[in-house]
Amino acid sequence: MLDLAIAAEELTRVDVNVPTTLLATGLGLQPVIQHGSPEQKERLLRPFADDPEGDLLASYAFTDVAGGANFDSADPAGGMQTIARRDGGEWVITGQKHYTTNGTGWDKKGCELYTVVCRTDPAAGADDALAVIAVPGATPGITVADVYDKIGHRGVITPRVHFDEVRVPAANLIGQPGRTGKRIVTGAFSWTAALIGAACVGTMRAAFEYALGFTRSETRLGTVPVIEHQNVGFMLADIKMRIEACRYLTWKACHDFERSGGRAEELAIMTKVYCSEAAVDTVYDCMRVVGIASYTKELAPLEKIMRDAVVFPLYDGGNQGVRRRQLHDIFRHPGYDSMLAARGEGLPEDQ
């Protein structure tokens, strides 16, 4: 994960779209990687490992059209409305998902593999029925209904995908429904939470490097470069400290998450919240350094960087609807110790 974080930062400094597409494929495969049986890993991951071009796409079909923040609702009237019913040796899945990044595949006919978050019983809540099922993209009943037109991440395809009586073998269920299903969902999101910190750092770097170059070369009708002014220098110092803090928070979160086998989730979630919100603040501060030119498409790249950055707190489990609630739940556990994150540990196994 740390290797991937370093690569993601360098890629995102240049363009956010390619690393986001790679990250989304990683997210789609995480349920299999973290919780799949040996047979499932061989069958479902082998095509990605052996593909000579490396261009197979996976998609995490998590968010229902009505939302995803309360995916873990104990009340069966809420929670996931994508339902999988058992029919002999098959699961039959029906529901509508949106923000299924990579879900179009390259030809708008579907990706290589979806991991679909659903419930296996419409009359049961998440504690008993939440599940993740692997669905090959060529399975009949999958339709790419629409592609969202976003203000940023323009090269990342974000479709709405319908599953209409989609039949897959019963062996495609990852783990078991219920509490195990909840762990699978949160584990996948914790993996990507840590790595989004790297995307945020790369984005902040791009903005900072442009602003720094601007202040070194521009006088703005003055007699010395803008960087010679104390208020500009102090703003740049604050920006740079923020970038460094986010980088090392990301690296520790990735290291601890992998070393602990995915149990050290607290710092990963904090990384997503802190770095994503810091990225928006940082890009805006860089725009303030540059001034009104930063608001134009012709004179500066910062407007595009801001359009890409502003989604970081909103996607991949929104900071308000999902991530802070995850932290709240961790703090409420009787086995919680405030030094768990510092030590790189997770909650006790029985929690």
**Nearest residue to 126 (alpha-carbon basis) of 188, 63, 177, 199:** 177
Is 256 among the residues known to form the active site?
A: no
72, 238, 316, 337: the catalytic one is 316
Q: How far apart are CA 84 and CA 91, in angstroms?
A: 6
CB atoms under 10 Å from CB of 182, counted, come to 17
Angle (CA) 56-168-163 rounded to 5° is 75
Q: How far apart are CA 10 and CA 87, in angstroms?
A: 47
CB distance 79 to 71 below 8 Å: yes
Residue partners of 311: CB distance under 8 A and separation at least 6: 150, 152, 153
CA-to-CA separations, 3 to 58, 68, 324, in angstroms, rounded: 21, 30, 27
**Residues with a known catalytic role:** 316
